[in-house]
Amino acid sequence: MADEEAANGEILAMLPLPGSRMSMVWAADEAHAHELLALSPEALAATVMQAATGAVAAGSARCAA
């Protein structure tokens, strides 16, 4: 099962792999992509978690409406 969320005109897709691994695709505009590429692995992980959590919360709010 893949999880895909759209937020701010961007798409963040998380695709499960065997074990506890995943593959991620983040479709972002060029400026944001450069910002993401400049992050440390730890900062990128925190940014992904924040983006995924925000997108899921927004999707939940839309479903409840």
- pLDDT value, residue 55: 52
Average pLDDT over every residue of 36-53: 92
Residue 35 has pLDDT above 90, yes or no: yes
Partners of residue 4 on adjacent β-strands: 13
- Read off the pTM: 0.65
Number of domains in the chain: 1
**Domain span at 34:** 3-64
Q: Are β-strands 22-27 and 3-7 bridged in parallel, bridged antiparallel, or unpaired?
A: unpaired
Average pLDDT over every residue of 39-61: 77
- pLDDT value, residue 32: 92
Average pLDDT over every residue of 3-26: 82
Burial status of residue 13 (CB atoms within 10 A of its CB: 0-12, 13-18, 19 or more)? middle
